[in-house]
């Protein structure tokens, strides 16, 4: 962009504060990167499209040597002011100076939706080349399973190209040789995650708005065992789950309505039977006399 302050200001408004983003990153990814410190105590991390540097800060706090690249000078200025190692470079070119098996973590948060698919393929291949055995590639992007994200929210950012289905991104990592991949659906409402009575709006916009693919390069059996636990966990809220909750709720409402209709029909049948009964006909003069007395008393008041 020609205005170097535009995207930094846009990010501040629409992505959230640095503190909030950093908190989200820690919650989602620390379980995956902490075991890597056992394998590579002095490990290096390259963050592609480093933005305001939240991930760089988190990596450094975890003891990794962190370096970031970005094309937005407004973002890079903020990173340099905080003392982070950054440079103005595009994601694919950043790999050119890196030796094979030189990095512990390759990450890209909300970058892959900005680049052509051919560049994404090259990025994944290069990540595979430069990662150490057992190292991790982390790619986070908007989740098109969220209907409001894929039809509206995604296009709020004028630099987005197209949403990337999570199964495509996972396949890319598998195709280029990563040993295992994990889908993390991220940043859904905690209240909605535990909610059973959902609305149609919950179904349309409540699915985890972001997702990440965490892919691990093949390593020794020991390395894979040390880092394996978080890959067994489940993350996030899917469209299937919310739709099933909504359908179940509608089914319960339909069942209650059917029961009410059945009770009403039964009551109507009983009332018709009463009106048609001999006792009802025999007691009609008494009912009429009682009604006349009530009307008379009412008139006297």
Q: Please give the share of the chain, as a percent, with pLDDT higher than 90.
A: 69
Q: Residue 138: its pLDDT value, please?
A: 98
Angle at Cα 39 formed by Cα 23 and Cα 222, nearest 5°? Answer: 115
Q: Residue 67: its pLDDT value, please?
A: 98
Please say if the pLDDT value at position 18 is more than 90.
Answer: no
Largest CA distance in the chain: 107
pTM: 0.82
Please say if the pLDDT value at position 240 is more than 70.
Answer: yes
Q: Which of 193, 184, 191 is nearest to 233 (CA)?
A: 184
- Locate CATH 3.40.50.150 in the chain: 6-237
**CB-CB contact of 95 with 128 (8 Å):** no
Please say if the pLDDT value at position 215 is more than 90.
Answer: yes
Mean pLDDT of 262-286: 75
Please say if the pLDDT value at position 1 is more than 70.
Answer: no
**Average of per-residue pLDDT values in the chain:** 89
Please say if the pLDDT value at position 14 is more than 90.
Answer: no
Class of CATH domain 6-237: alpha beta
Mean pLDDT of 267-279: 74
Please say if the pLDDT value at position 254 is more than 80.
Answer: no
Q: Residue 93: its pLDDT value, please?
A: 93
pLDDT in tens, 28-43: 999 999 999 999 999 9
Q: How confident is the model at residue 84 (pLDDT cuts 50, 70, 90)?
A: very high
For residue 72, give the DSSP letter. Answer: -
Q: Residue 251: its pLDDT value, please?
A: 76
Q: Residue 278: its pLDDT value, please?
A: 78
pLDDT in tens, 56-79: 999 999 999 999 999 999 899 999
Mean pLDDT of 152-164: 92
Q: How confident is the model at residue 287 (pLDDT cuts 50, 70, 90)?
A: confident
Q: Which of 249, 189, 180 is nearest to 219 (CA)?
A: 180
Please say if the pLDDT value at position 9 is more than 80.
Answer: no
Q: 113: Cβ–Cβ under 8 A, 6 or more apart, which residues? A: 141, 142, 154, 160, 161, 162, 163, 164
Q: Residue 297: its pLDDT value, please?
A: 75
Q: Please give the share of the chain, as a percent, with pLDDT higher than 70.
A: 92
Spatial separation of the C-alpha atoms in residues 182 and 188, rounded to whole Å? 17
pLDDT in tens, 193-211: 888 889 999 999 999 999 9
CB atoms within 10 A of CB 60: 16
Q: Residue 8: its pLDDT value, please?
A: 60
Of 47-51, 56-60, 161-165, 233-237, the poorest mean pLDDT is in 233-237
């Amino acid at each position: 962009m020609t205005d170097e302050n535009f995207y930094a200001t846009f990010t501040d408004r629409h992505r959230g504060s640095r503190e909030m983003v950093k908190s989200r990153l820690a919650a989602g990814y620390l379980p995956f990167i902490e075991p890597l410190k056992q394998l590579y105590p002095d490990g290096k991390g390259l963050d592609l499209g480093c933005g305001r540097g939240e991930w760089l800060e988190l990596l450094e706090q975890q003891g990794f040597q962190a370096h970031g690249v970005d094309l937005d000078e407004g973002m890079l200025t903020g990173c340099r002011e905080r003392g982070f190692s950054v440079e103005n470079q595009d994601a694919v070119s950043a790999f050119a100076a890196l030796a094979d098996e030189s990095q512990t973590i390759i990450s890209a948060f909300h970058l892959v939706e900005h680049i052509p698919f051919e560049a994404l393929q090259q990025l994944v291949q290069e990540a595979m080349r430069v990662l150490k055995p057992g190292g991790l590639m982390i790619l986070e992007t908007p989740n098109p399973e969220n209907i409001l994200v894929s039809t509206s929210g995604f296009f709020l950012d004028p630099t987005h190209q197209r949403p990337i289905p999570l199964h495509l991104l996972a396949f890319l990592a598998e195709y280029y040789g990563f040993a295992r991949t994990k889908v993390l659906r991220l940043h859904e409402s905690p209240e909605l995650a535990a909610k059973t009575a959902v609305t149609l709006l919950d179904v349309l916009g409540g699915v985890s708005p972001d997702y990440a693919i965490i892919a691990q390069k093949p390593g020794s059996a020991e390395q894979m065992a040390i880092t394996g636990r978080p890959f067994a966990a489940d993350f996030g809220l899917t469209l299937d789950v919310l739709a099933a909750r909504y359908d179940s709720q509608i089914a319960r409402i339909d069942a209650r309505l059917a029961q009410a209709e059945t009770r009403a029909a039964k009551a109507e049948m009983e009332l018709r039977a009463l009106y048609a009964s001999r006792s009802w006909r025999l007691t009609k003069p008494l009912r009429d006399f009682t009604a006349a007395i009530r009307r008379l008393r009412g008139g006297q008041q």
